[in-house]
Amino acid sequence: MCVFGKCIIAKRLLHLNGLSGVNEFVYVSWHGSSQDIVGHVEVRTLVIPAAGLGTRFLPATKAVPKELMPIGDTPAIQLVIDEALSAGIDHIVIVGSSAKPALEQYFAARPDLERMLRAKGNDAMADRLASIGRDWRVSIVHQEDPKGLGHAVGCASSVVDGDAFVVSLPDEIMGGSQFLQKMIDVCTTSSGSVVGLMEVDRSEVSAYGVVAPEAEMVDGVVKVGDLVEKPAIDEAPSLLIIIGRYVLTVDIFEEIAQLTPGAGGELQLTDAIRAQAQRSPLHGVETMVNRWDTGTPAGFLTAAVEMALLGDGVEGLDSDLRDIVERHRQ
């Protein structure tokens, strides 16, 4: 039994070679121990909160979880997983719900389907399906009574490995793994938690959590003194908002266990991080890669189109989209 939820699915091994992704090769030849990397903090696990019902995407999400909707030819959640695997993660924890059984089915092996594809000569797709079934572990935990992001992360406490872990919000797709890798490096160096940051216009800060830096940013890294959730525009301590990537040391679970309902009556992850920062170092890393927010239909479509134009979508789709744009310019 987890702190807040229940472990439903046993860990399985999944294969990395030939992973579906955004045309980015996933290097998996080495997973070092904490002694092999800078510092002494081991980061092995990715937690993906995925229990939400995707109401902005209804009626489609009555049947298909938003996380499985494809961007190009790849489910959104696989893009998030590929990013983490490229950064050295080898254990994926999905915080799901019994109302979304398709998420569990996605990770289940389908040898019958693979045989059918091979019989038809479609070995490439068969290999792609087989890749979701070996070499990396997945655990699925159910969050049956969602009470905020802090609550969702707390549901993963019993299955997280190592000294620290990654939390990636599946609504946010990143254009590479360099950003997450840098966050992990900062965590291993500082032995403290790290939040992902992005600079925005002052007019936007009131919609996000914002950090109060303690010092000047150096090489995209800044020591964080405090976090302010959705400040008034004229009261924001900076223009650096927190985005959906976190690397958290495991003592965050102690803070989550002590949370009381905050904004919206939910258990807020930022409140737990803020409490943790009172006794251990907290840093922020500013993103240096593209970021797409797919939390709305418009944002989802924008991500699909822009990734295709950048050559990170379905093969040949970029040229088709350019032709469409040119036709509508005439």
Q: Would residue 1 count as lying in a domain?
A: no
pLDDT per residue over 231-285, tens digit each?
888 889 999 999 999 999 999 999 999 998 876 788 999 999 999 999 999 999 9
Residue (of 232, 181, 240, 187) closest to 210 by Cα position: 240
Q: Report whether the peptide linkage leading into residue 213 is cis, meaning its omega lies within 30 degrees of zero.
A: no
pLDDT at 79: 94
pLDDT at 326: 74
pLDDT at 317: 62
SS3 303: helix
Report the chain's mean pLDDT, rounded to a whole number: 84
Which amino acid type is present at position 90? D
Phi, psi of 301 (to 5 degrees): -65, -40
Burial class (CB in 10 A: 0-12, 13-18, 19+), 150: buried
User: Is the pLDDT confidence value at 130 over 80?
Assistant: yes
The predicted model gives 95-100 an average pLDDT of: 91
The predicted model gives 284-298 an average pLDDT of: 93
More reliable by pLDDT, 75 or 29: 75
More reliable by pLDDT, 11 or 235: 235
Global confidence as pTM:
0.83
pLDDT at 306: 86
pLDDT at 264: 73
The predicted model gives 200-220 an average pLDDT of: 91
Residue environment code for 176-211, b if the CB has 16+ CB neighbours within 10 A, otherwise e: bbebbbbbbbbbbbbebbbbbbbebeeeebeebbbb
Q: What confidence tier does 313 reach under pLDDT thresholds 50, 70, 90? A: low
Q: Would residue 90 count as lying in a domain?
A: yes
The predicted model gives 324-328 an average pLDDT of: 76
Of the listed ranges 13-17, 231-235, 286-290, the one predicted with least confidence = 13-17
pLDDT at 16: 34
State how many domains the chain has.
1
Range of the domain at 235: 6-329
More reliable by pLDDT, 238 or 34: 238
pLDDT at 310: 78
User: Is the pLDDT confidence value at 101 over 80?
Assistant: yes
User: Is the pLDDT confidence value at 11 over 80?
Assistant: no
Of the listed ranges 40-44, 184-188, 224-228, 320-324, the one predicted with least confidence = 320-324
CATH number for the domain including 234?
Answer: 3.90.550.10
The DSSP secondary structure of 243-292, one letter per residue, reads: EEEEEEETTHHHHHHT----GGGS--HHHHHHHHTTTS-EEEEE--S-EE
Q: Would residue 139 count as lying in a domain?
A: yes
Element holding 225 (H helix, E strand): strand 221-229
Q: Would residue 116 count as lying in a domain?
A: yes
Q: Would residue 127 count as lying in a domain?
A: yes
User: Is the pLDDT confidence value at 87 over 80?
Assistant: yes
More reliable by pLDDT, 41 or 190: 190
The predicted model gives 83-102 an average pLDDT of: 93
Q: Would residue 104 count as lying in a domain?
A: yes
Q: Would residue 278 count as lying in a domain?
A: yes
Q: Would residue 252 count as lying in a domain?
A: yes
User: Is the pLDDT confidence value at 19 over 60?
Assistant: no
